A and B are shown apart, each in its own frame.
Chain A
Amino acid sequence: MVVKKSGKMLFRLLPIGLMALLLSGCGIPELSALQPRGEGAQMQLEIIKLSLWVMLFVLAIVAVIYIYVLMKFRRKAGDNTVPKQVEGNHTLEIIWTVIPILLLVVLAVPTIKTTVELADAKEAKKNEVINVTANLYWWEFEYPDKGVSTGQELVIPVGKRVAVNLTSKDVIHSFWVPALSGKTDTNPGLDNEMWLQAQEAGTYYGKCAELCGPSHALMDFKVIALEQDDYDAWLKDMKSAKEAETKQLDAKNKKNWTTGEQVYAQNCLSCHGGGKVAPSLTNFGDRQRIAGYLDHDKENLEKWIRNPQKEKQGTKMPGFSEDKISDEELSELADYLLDKKLQ
C-alpha cells in the first residue's frame, strides 16, 4: 500500500519535475525556442515564462488540495456512514472565480503589448526588406532593393530588425526560425509581414510549420546572420557572382563552356536560372545542405539529380536519367555546382 502511494506521488510530481527541466533550457541553440538568439524569440520566451509561472502557481494550489483530498478522505473498510451533503460555498466559489480573473489580467496586458510590438515592422523596413516566397518544397529569398535573390539560405545582418514579406506560390507553408522568432504563415494569394532579428552571428535552422505535402518534413532552410560588414560584402559578392554567371552562361559564349557548364546550361538553367521556378544556384557551393536537408557532398548531389522524387517525394524537380546526363557528365556537373562559391 505504501509503495503504491509513493508511486502515485511520483507520477503526480513528475510533470512538475519535467517542467523545471524544461525551464533550464533544452534543445540545440540553432533551433530551440528555449535558447533565443533573436529579439523576437527573446520577447516570446519572456512571455512564455510568465504564463508558465502563472500556471504553475495554479497547478501548485490544485496539487496541494488534490493530494490532501486523496490521502485524507478515503473510505475505510466497513465504514458505511454517509458524509455531509454539501451544496456549495459562495465565498469559496467567489474566491476561485476572482483570483483566476486577476491572474489572467496579469497575463493579458503583456500579451496585448507583445502582440502589437511583434506586428510593428516599421523600423525593420528602414533597415532591409526581404521577400520570402515558399514553394513546394523550397524557399526563395529575394532582396528587392539590392537586386539579389537566393534559395534555401536567408542571409541577414546581425543586430538589426529586417522586414520579411511572406507569400507562397502554391499551398500554405509557414516560416519558422524558432531561435529567432515565432512563425508566420505564407499564404498563396496573400501577403504577410513580420520582422526578424538575430543578436549574434551564426546559422539558425528554419522549418516549414504548415503541412504542405509529403515532403513537408524536409522543407528546411537556414538563416545565416552576418556582421554588417560581412553582410554588405555578401550582397556585393552575390550580385557580381550572379552577373558573372549570367555572362558566362550566355549562349553566345558557348564555345568557352566547360563540360559542367554545358550540362548545366542545357538541363538546369531554364528553371534554376531565374531563381523563381527553382532555387537559384549562384552560390550553391557555399550551401550547407542539398535540397534543404541532405549532407552537402558530391554523392548526395548526384543521387539527388538522378532521382529527386526518391529523396523528396512530391518535389517539382524532374529526375535526370543516364540517357539525359551520362555518369561522366553528372560528375562534371556536380563538380561545377559544388564549385559555385562566392569569393
Chain B
Amino acid sequence: MGTHTMGMPKKKTGIMDWLTTVDHKKIGVLYIISGLFFLLVGGVEALMIRFQLIKPMNDFVSGELFNQLITMHGTTMIFLAAMPMLIGYMNAAVPLQIGARDVAFPFLNALGFWLFFFGGVLLNLSWFFGAAPNAGWTAYAPLSTVPESLGVDFYSLGLQISGFGTLMGGINFLVTILNMRAPGMKLMRMPLFTWTAFVASALIVFAFPPLTVGLFLLTFERLFGAHFFDPAAGGNIVIWEHLFWIFGHPEVYILILPAFGIFSEIIPTFARKRLFGYTTMVFATMLIGFLGFMVWVHHMFTVGLGPVANAIFAVATMAIAVPTGVKIFNWLFTLWGGKLTFPVAMLYSVAFIPSFLVGGMTGVMLSVAPADYQYHDSYFVVAHFHYVIVGGVVFGLFAGLYYWFPLMFGKQLNEFWGKIQFWLFFIGFHLTFFPQHILGLTGMPRRVFTYLPNQGWETMNLLSSIGAAFMGVSTIVLVVSIVAALMSKEYVKRDVWGDGRTLEWTLPVPTPEYNFAQIPLVKGLDTYWLEKMAGNKTVSVSEEVGDIHMPNNSILPFVMSVGLFLAGLGFILRLDYGTVGLIIALIGLAMTLFAMFLRSWIDDEGYYIPKAEIEKDLRLEAEKEAK
C-alpha cells in the first residue's frame, strides 16, 4: 500500500451524501435527528394517553386505540428514541474521545443506522394500516399471538430489523473501543462516557440475542402457525416472558449506563474538577452491567415462579443498588469543592441526581418481592420506570444534546430558551409522574384506558395530565430551539465550554472528516485538561502529518435495509393480501442478498486524503485561531 495512488472519489453532496455516508459523525447526526423525530412521535402518543386519562370514563379514545397508543409509546420511546439517540452520542463522541479517525467498521455502522431507521419506519407504518401493535411493549403471549390484528406483526418484524441494527452498533463499538484508541489511551484513561458506551455495547451483544430468539418464535407463531406459546398444543406462555425480560432488564442498563456516562462528562466539566473516584465509577459500571443479567425475574414476581425464585431474585436486585449508590455519591463529591456553573447541560445533570434517586428508591422498594405483589403492573411501576427512564435517560439525552450540540453541528443551542425548556420539563416531569406512585398504591392498575369515578383517583390523574402538558410545551420549545440553532450562521469556536477535558474538544469546528490531522498522544485521564494545566494550547501528537486513509461512501447499507424493510412488510401483508405480499417480500429479500453479494464481490479499499490537503487544513485552522 505504499503508493497511495487511489484518487479521491468525487465528493457526493446533498441527500446522496447522507444516504451513503460512512462517517461516524454524520451517522451520529442521522441517529440524533431520527431519534428526536421518534421522540416527538412517542411524545404525541404519551399526550394522547394522558388526555384520555384526565378524567374518569373519558371517551377520547377507545380501549383498542388506547392499547395501540401505550404499545407504540413504549416501543417507540425505548427502541426508536432513547436507544438511537444514545447510539448517536456514541457515534458523535466516542471515536473523538479515544483519538480515533473513525469506528472500526464504518460500513457496518451505516448499515446499523439504516436497519434501525427502516425497522422504526416499518413499526410506525402500522398506523397507516389501522392496526398498530396492541399487546403492550412487552407483547406477552398469548395476547400477542392472537392473529386477529396485524399489529403485532409490525412489532415483531419492525423490532427484529431495528434490533439487527442495534446489535451491529454494539459489536462495532466494542471493537472500536478496544482497538482504535490513540497511543497512551489506556483503558483506565478512557473518558467515562466511552467506558459506559463500552459496557452498554457488551450488554447489547449479550442481551439482544434473547430478544431476537423471542421475536423469531413470535413471528413463526403468528405467520407460520407455530405453537411455542399455545398451551392447548403443549406450548408454554412463560417462555416469552423469560426471553423478553432476559433481554428487557439489561436493556434498562443499555439505556441508563450511557446516560450515566454523559453526566460523568458534564459534571466534571462544569465543576472544573476531575471525576471523583474514577476507578470506582468504572468498576461500578461494569458491576451494574454484570448484575443486570441476573435480575430479570423481578419483572415476573407475580407470574408464580415460587417463593425460592422470587426471594433469590429479590436479593440479587437489591444488590444493584450498591454500585448505583456509589455512583450517586461520586457525582456529589465531584461537585463538592468544585467551581460550579450552570448552563443547561449542567442543569439537567444536577436535576438528574434527585430525580433518578427517587427512581432508584422505588427500585429498591420494588425489589422487595412481597411488596411488589402490590406494586406490580400498577401505576406505581409506571411512576418508577418513568423516574428512571425520564429522570435518568431522557435528562441524560437532553443534557448530552445541549453539551455536544456544538460538537456535532458547530453551533450552540440558545441557553435562555434552554433554561425555560429545562424548567418546564423538570416541573412537568415531577408533576406527571410523582402522583402516579400514589395512584398505584391506591389500587390503579397500569394500562387501563379508563377508570370509574369515586375510586379516589381523580385528583392524581388530573395532576398527572397537567404535568404532561408542561412536558409537551417544553418539547415544543426544544424543537424550535434546535431549528433556530441549525438555521443560525453563528459558529462556535474550538472548546466551546472553555473547560473541555477530553479529546473531542481539542478538534477544530466543524470537525474535519478525518477527525485528527495527527493522532494525539494521551498522557492521562482528561488529557486535554492536563495539557491545558501544563500551559499548552492543545494536546501532544503521536505522529507526523501524512496521508490519511478513509473509507469510501456506499449506498449498499441503505439498499440492504430497504430490502429487509420490504421483506418485512411483504411478510406482514402476505396474510391479508396473499401473493402481492409474497412478491414484495421476495423482491425485498433479493435486494438485500444482491447488495450483500456486491459488498463481498467488490473490493473497496477506500481512498487517501493527501498530506498536502491536511497541511492546508492545519494552516487555515491556525490562521483562524490566531484571529
Q: Is B514 an interface residue (CB 8 A)?
A: no
Report how far A52 CA is from B374 CA in the complex, Å.
Answer: 14
Q: Is B449 an interface residue (CB 8 A)?
A: yes
Which residues of A86-122 are within 8 A (CB) of B? 86-89, 92-93, 96-97, 100-101, 104, 107-108, 111-112, 114-116, 118-119
Cβ contact within 8 Å between A210 and B140: yes
Cβ contact within 8 Å between B452 and A86: no
Q: Looking at the complex, which one of B330, B333, B337, B374 makes contact with A182 (CB distance below 8 Å)?
A: B374
Q: Write the chain A residue with the least CB distance to B63.
A: A214
Which residues of A198-228 are within 8 A (CB) of B? 205, 207-218, 220
Q: Give chain B residues whose Cβ lies under 8 Å from the Cβ of A172.
A: 140, 142-143, 237
Instruction: Give the shortest distance, in Å, between A103 (CB) and chain B (any CB).
Output: 9
Cβ contact within 8 Å between A112 and B311: yes
Report how far A129 CA is from B236 CA in the complex, Å.
Answer: 26
Cβ contact within 8 Å between A170 and B142: yes
Q: Residue among B143, B337, B430 with the most chain A CB within 10 A?
A: B143
Report how far A293 CA is from B329 CA in the complex, Å.
Answer: 49
Q: Give chain B residues whose Cβ lies under 8 Å from the Cβ of A318.
A: none
Question: How many residue pairs between the two chains, A and B, have CB atoms under 8 Å in the bound complex?
Answer: 312
Q: Write the chain A residue with the least CB distance to B377.
A: A209
Cβ contact within 8 Å between A62 and B354: yes
Report how far A55 CA is from B430 CA in the complex, Å.
Answer: 18
Report how far A92 CA is from B337 CA in the complex, Å.
Answer: 15
Q: Give chain A residues whose Cβ lies under 8 Å from the Cβ of B271.
A: 73, 83
Chain B proximity mask over A48-65: 1 for CB below 8 Å, otherwise 0: 100110111011001101
Cβ contact within 8 Å between B341 and A75: yes
Cβ contact within 8 Å between B280 and A217: no
Q: Write the chain A residue with the least CB distance to B71.
A: A211
Q: Write the chain B residue with the least CB distance to A98.
A: B322
Chain A interface extent, by class: 35 or more
Which residues of B331-369 are within 8 A (CB) of A? 332-333, 335-341, 350, 353-354, 357-358, 361-362, 364-365, 367-369
Are A79 and B339 CB-contacts (below 8 A) given A96-B326, A96-B329, A187-B303? yes
Are A86 and B456 CB-contacts (below 8 A) given A190-B237, A209-B378, A217-B63? no
Cβ contact within 8 Å between A115 and B339: no
Report how far A141 CA is from B334 CA in the complex, Å.
Answer: 59
Q: Is B225 an interface residue (CB 8 A)?
A: no
- How would you classify the secondary structure of chain B's contact residues: helix, strand, loop or mixed? helix
Q: Is A12 an interface residue (CB 8 A)?
A: yes
Cβ contact within 8 Å between B373 and A118: yes
Cβ contact within 8 Å between A100 and B325: yes
Instruction: Give the shortest distance, in Å, between B259 (CB) and chain A (any CB).
Output: 18
Instruction: Give the shortest distance, in Å, between B320 (CB) and chain A (any CB).
Output: 10
Q: Residue among A22, A31, A104, A116 with the most chain B CB within 10 A?
A: A104
Cβ contact within 8 Å between B361 and A58: yes
Q: Looking at the complex, which one of A32, A43, A58, A171 makes contact with B441 (CB distance below 8 Å)?
A: A32
Are A185 and B302 CB-contacts (below 8 A) given A15-B434, A62-B328, A176-B445? yes
Report how far A67 CA is from B68 CA in the complex, Å.
Answer: 42
Chain B interface extent, by class: 35 or more
Cβ contact within 8 Å between A112 and B315: yes
Q: Is A14 an interface residue (CB 8 A)?
A: yes
Cβ contact within 8 Å between A28 and B454: yes
Q: Is B579 an interface residue (CB 8 A)?
A: no
Report how far A185 CA is from B299 CA in the complex, Å.
Answer: 12
Which residues of A238-290 are within 8 A (CB) of B? none
Cβ contact within 8 Å between A22 and B437: yes
Q: Looking at the complex, which one of A43, A115, A183 makes contact with B376 (CB distance below 8 Å)?
A: A183
Q: Is B438 an interface residue (CB 8 A)?
A: yes
Cβ contact within 8 Å between A107 and B364: yes
Q: Give chain B residues whose Cβ lies under 8 Å from the Cβ of A212.
A: 143
Cβ contact within 8 Å between A213 and B143: yes
Q: Is B181 an interface residue (CB 8 A)?
A: no
Q: Is B442 an interface residue (CB 8 A)?
A: yes
Instruction: Give the shortest distance, in Å, between A131 (CB) and chain B (any CB).
Output: 15
Cβ contact within 8 Å between A313 and B340: no
Cβ contact within 8 Å between A28 and B314: no
Cβ contact within 8 Å between A85 and B142: no
Q: Write the chain B residue with the least CB distance to A217.
A: B448
Q: Is A44 an interface residue (CB 8 A)?
A: yes
Instruction: Give the shortest distance, in Å, between A240 (CB) and chain B (any CB).
Output: 33
Chain A proximity mask over B476-512: 1 for CB below 8 Å, otherwise 0: 0000000000000000000000000000000000000
Report how far A146 CA is from B145 CA in the complex, Å.
Answer: 37
Q: Give chain A residues whose Cβ lies under 8 Å from the Cβ of B364.
A: 51, 54-55, 104, 107
Q: Is A178 an interface residue (CB 8 A)?
A: yes
Q: Give chain A residues whose Cβ lies under 8 Å from the Cβ of B326.
A: 93, 96-97
Q: Is A41 an interface residue (CB 8 A)?
A: yes
Cβ contact within 8 Å between A217 and B451: yes
Q: Looking at the complex, which one of B67, B140, B280, B325 makes contact with A88 (CB distance below 8 Å)?
A: B280
Cβ contact within 8 Å between B442 and A26: yes
Cβ contact within 8 Å between A100 and B322: yes
Instruction: Give the shortest distance, in Å, between A31 (CB) and chain B (any CB).
Output: 4
Cβ contact within 8 Å between B447 and A216: yes
Q: Write the chain A residue with the least CB distance to B372.
A: A182
Cβ contact within 8 Å between A28 and B455: yes
Report how far A97 CA is from B274 CA in the complex, Å.
Answer: 21
Which residues of A5-28 are within 8 A (CB) of B? 11-12, 14-15, 18, 21-22, 26-28
Q: Give chain B residues whose Cβ lies under 8 Å from the Cβ of A84.
A: 273, 337
Report how far A240 CA is from B333 CA in the complex, Å.
Answer: 73
Q: Is B542 an interface residue (CB 8 A)?
A: no
Report how far A213 CA is from B152 CA in the complex, Å.
Answer: 13
Instruction: Give the shortest distance, in Å, between A188 (CB) and chain B (any CB).
Output: 5
Instruction: Give the shortest distance, in Å, between B321 (CB) and chain A (any CB).
Output: 6
Are A187 and B354 CB-contacts (below 8 A) given A33-B443, A34-B441, A73-B338? no
Q: Is B319 an interface residue (CB 8 A)?
A: yes
Q: Is B7 an interface residue (CB 8 A)?
A: no
Cβ contact within 8 Å between A189 and B231: yes
Q: Is A2 an interface residue (CB 8 A)?
A: no
Q: Give chain A residues whose Cβ lies under 8 Å from the Cβ of B456.
A: 26-28, 31-32
Q: Is A133 an interface residue (CB 8 A)?
A: no
Report how far A108 CA is from B320 CA in the complex, Å.
Answer: 13
Cβ contact within 8 Å between B442 and A293: no
Q: Is B2 an interface residue (CB 8 A)?
A: no
Report how far A47 CA is from B236 CA in the complex, Å.
Answer: 33
Q: Residue among A11, A101, A115, A179 with the most chain B CB within 10 A?
A: A115
Instruction: Give the shortest distance, in Å, between B222 (CB) and chain A (any CB).
Output: 15
Q: Is A144 an interface residue (CB 8 A)?
A: no
Q: Is B238 an interface residue (CB 8 A)?
A: yes
Q: Is A127 an interface residue (CB 8 A)?
A: no
Q: Give chain B residues whose Cβ lies under 8 Å from the Cβ of A43.
A: 370
Q: Give chain B residues whose Cβ lies under 8 Å from the Cβ of A170.
A: 142
- Show the binding face of B for A, using Cβ within 8 Å: 62-64, 66-67, 134-136, 140, 142-143, 146, 231-232, 235-238, 271-274, 276-280, 302-304, 306-307, 310-311, 314-315, 318-319, 321-322, 325-326, 328-330, 332-333, 335-341, 350, 353-354, 357-358, 361-362, 364-365, 367-374, 376-378, 426-427, 430, 434, 437-438, 441-443, 445-452, 454-457, 533
A115-B310, A183-B377, A216-B449 known; 13 other A-B pairs, CB under 8 Å?
Answer: A63-B354, A74-B340, A75-B272, A75-B341, A86-B333, A87-B278, A93-B329, A108-B318, A170-B142, A189-B236, A190-B237, A215-B63, A314-B63
Identify the 8 closest CB pairs spanning chains A and B, nearest first. Answer: A182-B373, A189-B231, A27-B442, A214-B63, A217-B448, A192-B304, A75-B339, A88-B277
27 residue pairs A–B, Cβ–Cβ below 8 Å: A26-B456, A27-B438, A27-B457, A48-B365, A55-B361, A65-B332, A75-B272, A75-B341, A82-B272, A83-B273, A84-B273, A87-B276, A88-B330, A89-B333, A96-B325, A97-B322, A107-B368, A116-B311, A172-B140, A179-B443, A187-B237, A189-B231, A209-B378, A211-B67, A214-B64, A216-B63, A217-B445
